[in-house]
């Protein structure tokens, strides 16, 4: 492991942590937003969701993915034949799907539409935690 590799991996993990911080909080905002009836309350949630996405969630995702790919390029020969890597990348694709679905939901809320129930968002909120557990076990334990 060269020092450069370890720096890239550190930046990758920093991006991952802040990306998840946003993905854990945003669906909680959707839950509270759905429970809100008054216009000033709704406008406040629209602003909070928009800022969380634009200032934290999207830049963090770009940092996590960019440094993850850069790390992967350097480690390609060591990891390309490992099954854990491809399962991890499938988990990342699912996470990106979640990320962009959140972006769509933010737009819907901004247009004063709430496509789902409060209960839906409570379940929806658990998806990043499940993917986090899966991906961290794969990348740290490398079980196969």
139 binds ligand HEM (CB under 6 A): yes
Q: In this structure, are residues 11 and 63 in contact, taking their beta carbons and an 8 Å threshold?
A: yes
Q: Give the separation between CA 22 and CA 15, rounded to whole angstroms.
A: 11
Least distance between ligand HEM and beta carbon 18 (Å): 11
Side-chain-side CA neighbours of 102 within 13 Å: the count stands at: 31
Within 42-71, which residues bind ligand HEM (CB under 6 A)? Answer: 64-65, 68-69, 71
Q: What is the CA radius of gyration of the chain?
A: 17
Least distance between ligand HEM and beta carbon 58 (Å): 14
Torsion sign, CA atoms 54, 57, 40, 118: positive
Binding letters toward ligand HEM, positions 69-108, x by CB under 6 A: x-xx--x---x------------x--x-------------
Comparison of 48 and 139: residue with beta carbon closer to ligand HEM: 139
Q: Give CA 57 to chain center in angstroms.
A: 7
Q: Give the interface with ligand HEM as residue ranges (CB under 6 A).
A: 9, 12-13, 16, 64-65, 68-69, 71-72, 75, 79, 92, 95, 132, 135-136, 139-140
């Amino acid at each position: 492991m060269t020092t450069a590799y370890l720096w890239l991996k550190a930046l990758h993990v920093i991006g991952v942590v802040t990306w998840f911080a946003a993905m854990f909080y945003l669906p909680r905002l959707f839950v509270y937003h759905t429970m809100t009836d008054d216009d000033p309350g709704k406008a406040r949630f629209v602003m909070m969701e928009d800022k969380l996405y634009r200032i934290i969630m999207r830049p963090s995702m770009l940092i996590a993915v960019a440094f993850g790919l850069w790390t992967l390029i350097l480690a390609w020969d060591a990891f390309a034949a490992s099954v854990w890597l491809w399962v991890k990348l499938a988990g990342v694709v699912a996470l990106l799907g979640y990320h962009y679905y959140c972006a769509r939901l933010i737009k819907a809320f901004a247009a004063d539409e709430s496509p789902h129930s409060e209960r839906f968002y409570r379940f929806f909120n658990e998806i990043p935690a499940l993917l986090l557990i899966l991906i961290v076990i794969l990348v740290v334990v490398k079980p196969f």
